[in-house]
Structure 1
């Protein structure tokens, strides 16, 4: 098990149509980044975004308002630019739970038909998953999942594990939800993990899995989503407010696939 992270974590609070506070381990102070036209390229490093305001009115009844993110500039991009190469990933769908790359061939993505060339890949390790997950029936063994597993999973990915051709343009979503693919989170639609507790229905639990992203500019990053509920609760229920995405990512800006970034 990898010990406590050595990098400096800084909270980044963002409000759509306002501003984002973003900071990396390479910075000595917070940097205010305008989500509009301002362009500030990040350095190779690890970044954390906490309580990123997505769609706070999101419910399980329909798709949330999409949220576009530029990893190379560590900022939200206005929806008016969805048909451009100004963003890398979008948080989309129910509870903003589908993460699409900005790729013009990504059917179902707001970037479909646009100039984007980003790709993604969900890293899965069945032996690692078995610590917290039933890898046959695709559901958590118990909750809450130990928090240290997010650090372990994130640090274990030291390079891009696949060729670009094996990265995909579809979304990284909820794990095997409606016969879907390996995903970043588990959706307990009926509350089957906590029978008889109505506050545990329609709850999304993040899983400690890394998403590899090739950005629209051709750089590689690893992203791990920690929560979609406000203040990152360890064991969320219906009392917790969705629409607040917490994630961290490491990005390599030298053009290589080296993701062993400290």
Structure 2
């Protein structure tokens, strides 16, 4: 199943009966629900903040998304359980789960009980990643490795207390971070001498576990941050347009059936 956001403006005017809106008429209308049951879904070209630019005092608008319902959620609903993941910060590259108990979480103060966890599979990583230099051996990374990393996750591999709630997943070993879901080629190491290939993000074959705001479980993999997910983006490729796939269980089950 595929969900396209090319017609997002249409969804924004769809009617809804969500109780938050019913209880507070000042809240904006929510998009239509597109996911009604457990399963695997692909989101193509989820539009991030395409206006803000990196550098200086740039502030990127956070994008909230509901895995449970398959829709973008307006930021007025940040302190509710309507969203499950948020794409924040520079080029919407920081990925949060919705947890209202966490001090620095975008859902602070709300009822969200989510968490997030990056799955780093050493058997997959050794096929493409150079740990001595903390970068891929070569790009583009084979697409089949993305599917291998996703498919190998058949259950939630950690206990709930190991899920990240007061922090986010981000770029791999960038600005003091540790393992991440994407490599940011700040200096153009993958294409030496080609200035058009510096400052490019390459998503890695690493799956992500998400506990939703309501307490259900999903596995997810982010394919790319560039429009139409090209294999070889450059510094001029339009971003952020986020493409990802996820499998969600709506019954609290921690096992993912392919």
**TM-score, with normalisation over the residues of structure 2?**
0.86
Distance 2:84 2:153 in 1: 20
| Residue 251 of structure 1: aligned partner | 248
Check 1:41–1:47 CA distance in 2 against 1; reply closer, same or farther (3 A cut).
closer
Deviation at 1:195, TM superposition (A): 2.2
Contact persistence 2:226–2:238 (CA under 8 A) = yes
User: Paired residue for 1:74, among 70, 85, 102?
Assistant: 70
User: Paired residue for 2:230, among 218, 221, 233?
Assistant: 233
Contact persistence 2:67–2:212 (CA under 8 A) = yes
Q: Could you say what the CA RMSD is over the residues aligned between the two structures, in angstroms?
A: 2.0
In structure 1, runs of 5+ residues without a counterpart are 1-8, 21-33
Deviation at 1:136, TM superposition (A): 3.5
Matches within 5 A, 1:91-170: 91-169=87-165, 170=167
Distance 1:131 1:58 in 2: 35
Distance 2:172 2:154 in 1: 23
Deviation at 1:84, TM superposition (A): 1.4
Deviation at 1:40, TM superposition (A): 6.0
Contact persistence 2:99–2:108 (CA under 8 A) = yes
Distance 2:253 2:124 in 1: 26
| Deviation per residue, 1:57-112 (Å, 9 max, x gap) | 24332442110001100100001111111111101111111100111244443223
Question: Does 2:173 match 1:176?
Answer: yes
Check 1:191–1:97 CA distance in 2 against 1; reply closer, same or farther (3 A cut).
same
Deviates more, 1:173-182 or 1:158-167: 173-182
| Residue 83 of structure 1: aligned partner | 79
Question: Does 2:30 match 1:36?
Answer: yes
| Residue 4 of structure 2: aligned partner | 12
Distance 1:14 1:84 in 2: 26
Check 1:75–1:68 CA distance in 2 against 1; reply closer, same or farther (3 A cut).
same
Deviation at 1:53, TM superposition (A): 1.1
Distance 1:231 1:116 in 2: 31
Contact persistence 2:34–2:71 (CA under 8 A) = no
Contact persistence 1:60–1:95 (CA under 8 A) = yes
| Higher fraction of helix | 2
Contact persistence 2:185–2:201 (CA under 8 A) = yes
Question: Does 2:47 match 1:50?
Answer: no
Equivalent residues, number: 240
Check 1:90–1:195 CA distance in 2 against 1; reply closer, same or farther (3 A cut).
same
Deviation at 1:197, TM superposition (A): 1.4
| Deviation per residue, 1:220-249 (Å, 9 max, x gap) | 000100011001101211121002110010
